[in-house]
Amino acid sequence: MTISLKTPRLLVVGDVMLDRYWFGEVSRISPEAPVPVVRVERREERLGGAANVARNAVALGAQTALLGVVGQDEAGDVVQKLLTDLHIDSFLNRDPAISTIIKLRVIGRQQQLLRIDFEHPPTDTVLRNKLTQYNALLPQYDVIVLSDYAKGSLVNVVEMIAAAKRLGKRILVDPKGDDFARYKGASILTPNKSELRQIVGSWKNEDELTTKAQHLRESLDLEALLLTRSEEGMTLYTEGQAIHIPTVAREVYDVSGAGDTVIAALATMLGAGMSIAEAVEIANRAGGIVVGKLGTATVTREELFG
C-alpha cells in the first residue's frame, strides 16, 4: 500500500519542548528520605510537544516545518540541532527572556520514576513576531497543525485559525484547557476523553456521548471531531455520522506523546489526499504502535504499511 499521491506539506505550530531522559540503575533506597536512588548511566534528548508532532510527521514522509518559541539557551540550541538533523524546516523564535520548556524524566528499571518540568510562557513581543511569521508561511503549506499544550505559544490561536481558513487550509488542533471556543472554525479537533469531559461533562452511555460530541462539533463549526479513547480506540464524529475505530490490540508500554503521533499521522494522510475515514484508520494504527515504545517516539511508514 502506498501512502501518498503527493508529498504532504505540513506546518506545525505550538508549544515546543525538549524531552530529556536520564536512565539509570536503581539498587537502593536513599538514607535521607524513602525514595529510590538512581545512578544515571545514560542520557537521551528528544523533541517534545509540537516538535514531537513535527518529528512524527517527518518520519511518515511529510515535508514539515515547525514554528514555535524557545529560549536563547543551551536547550534551545539542542532543539535546533535535533530539528536540523531530522530535516525539519525550523522557524524557531528565540526569546532571551525565557528558558526553553524542558521535561526531564528519570527512568529506572524501564519505569518512569520522576518527571521535572521547566517552563515559562513566551513574551508578548516574541508572540507578535511569531504571528507575523505564521501569516507569511501559511500559503506554502497544505495542512496546518496547532499543537496546544497550554504553555503560552498559542495565545493567538483565534487569529491563526481565521487566517488559515481564509486561505482554504485544513486546520487540525490538538486542544487543551476548559474553553474550546477559541478553536471555532478549525477543520478537526482531536481531544482525548478527559479533555472532552472537561468541556461537555460526563456521559452515561454511547448515545449520550455521541449527542454531546456532535453538539460540540456543530457549535464550533468543525468538519470533524476525533475523540481518542486510549484502549477503546477512537471515534470520529462528522455531520450525521459517528464512526468507531477499535484499538489495535497490543501491549501498552508508554502513552507519552501518543496524541502527537495520532495528529501527525492524521495530518500527513489528509495532506497526501486520503479521506478523513481512511486517515483516521491509519492514525489509529500509528497510535497503537507508538504506545508500545518508551517515551516520545515515532512510527515509520514501514511499520504502518509493511
Catalytic machinery residues: 260
State the alpha helices, DSSP H only, in the chain.
Answer: 50-59, 74-85, 124-137, 157-166, 193-200, 206-219, 258-271, 276-290, 301-305
User: Whole-angstrom Cα distance, residue 236 to residue 254?
Assistant: 24
C-alpha–C-alpha distance, residues 120 and 97, integer Å: 9
CA dist 245 and 262 (Å) reads: 13
Q: What is the dihedral of CA 232, 238, 240, 245, to 10 degrees?
A: -30
CA distances from 176 to 67, 241, 275 (A): 18, 25, 26
| Cell 510527521 sits on residue | 57
**Alpha-carbon gap, residue 150 to 117, rounded angstroms:** 14
Q: Which residue has the cell 502513552?
A: 255
Whole-angstrom CA distances from 88 to 11, 82, 92 are: 10, 9, 11
- As a whole number of angstroms, the distance between CA 19 and CA 161 comes to 28
- Which amino acid would we find at residue 73? D
Give which of 61, 73, 134, 81 is closest to 101, Cα–Cα: 73
- CA dist., res. 255 & res. 290, Å (int): 8
